[in-house]
Amino acid sequence: MSKKIFLDNAATTPLDPEVFETMLPYFKEHFGNPSSIHSHGRKVKSALETARKSVAAILNTSPGEIFFTSGGTEADNTAIIQSVETLGVKHAVTSHLEHHAVLHTLENLAKLGKIELTFLENDAAGNLDIDSLSGILKDKPKSLVSLMHGNNEIGNLLDINRVGEIAKLHNAVFHSDTVQTMGHYTFDMQALPIDFVVAGAHKFHGPKGVGFLYINANSKINPLIHGGAQERNMRGGTENIYGIIGLAKALEIANANLENHKNHIKGLKSKMKDLLQEKISGITFNGASGDIENSLYTVLNVSFPPHPDNEMLLFNLDIEGISCSGGSACSSGTNLGSHVLNALKADPNRANVRFSFSKYTTEEEIVRTVAVLEGLFASK
């Protein structure tokens, strides 16, 4: 069999070897607890704060606004729950297209009677009715707006500047899940009208199990996890030092090579789109993902025409050594399908596959994947 092909980079990305090498000493030589005052602890504490400064510099913000977490899900939960518990939020606005880390958290708060929850409408292409946001916020109590920057399944991008300005106009808190876009787009937190953004290192070739939460200095919240004075009293628990070191290095690499990586990946996405349309009739693209210039450049969500083997498509691709997904990887193992595609009222008779790319994806892999797909759809 040919070399395996990984086209599920929206779920996770391979660890950059340079990141691993940077992490390695903190697994071995530099093992101190950063809360300890002796030399072993001080050495690690210094590395922790250097990593924080690096992340802050890339985001053009203060190190005091960066808090390390176990990943995007914890960061989302912290921002949302503490907006209610600390900032007095009584109402939240979101969409049916959000990641479950956001949706389930908000739905649970609503179930507990802590907030009223409003959903923005979306059209069949996944575009949100942002025009209605101001009217919704106008007649509500203290509100939270929680809308993701880049959709992990269909690639739609949100104008976070516009949404932030609307939220600011109505004294609302604005949180955006930026897990899919951090490390792939430039963020200037001094210019963005936003209270919270989040990141997970494994989405930009860093390690799993570590992320960060940006908290605007004007949004003072209490910790979600208690137990110690770590992260300036914002998150109890000994810091994942080697993870944080890896996160900072991965973000440095991503930021330094952002345009080159973007052009490379965008070119591969465009080629795959063109080849699919040429080789398989009836191909369409879900959400905005087929709009090369105006969507998340790492994601192409393909809707394949009805075929007797549609239910086995992902399995057959896997047999050929090609890894991709039918939706968000976070919902794998369920039979409910993609909540995002359900919200778009996607045709259940068509197979929907998300292909997502990274800096390591090659043109040869794209060509081979399309050839395999062409063979599968040519068969009866």
330 in active site: yes
Structure tokens at 251: 């973000």
If we measure between CA atoms, which residue out of 349, 315, 310, 357 comes closest to residue 332? 315
Bridge partners of residue 174, in order along the sequence: 145
Structure tokens at 108: 């649970």
What is the Cα–Cα distance from 141 to 171, expressed in whole angstroms? Answer: 10
Cα torsion angle, 339, 341, 346, 351, sign: negative
Candidate list 24, 57, 130, 330, residue with the active-site label: 330
Q: For residue 83, give Cα distances in angstroms to 20, 41, 114, 174, 195.
A: 35, 33, 11, 10, 10
C-beta of residue 230 within 8 angstroms of C-beta of residue 237: yes
Q: For residue 263, give Cα distances in angstroms to 5, 135, 293.
A: 20, 39, 11
Question: Which amino acid does the sequence have at 64?
Answer: G
Structure tokens at 157: 């991008």
Residues tagged active-site? 330
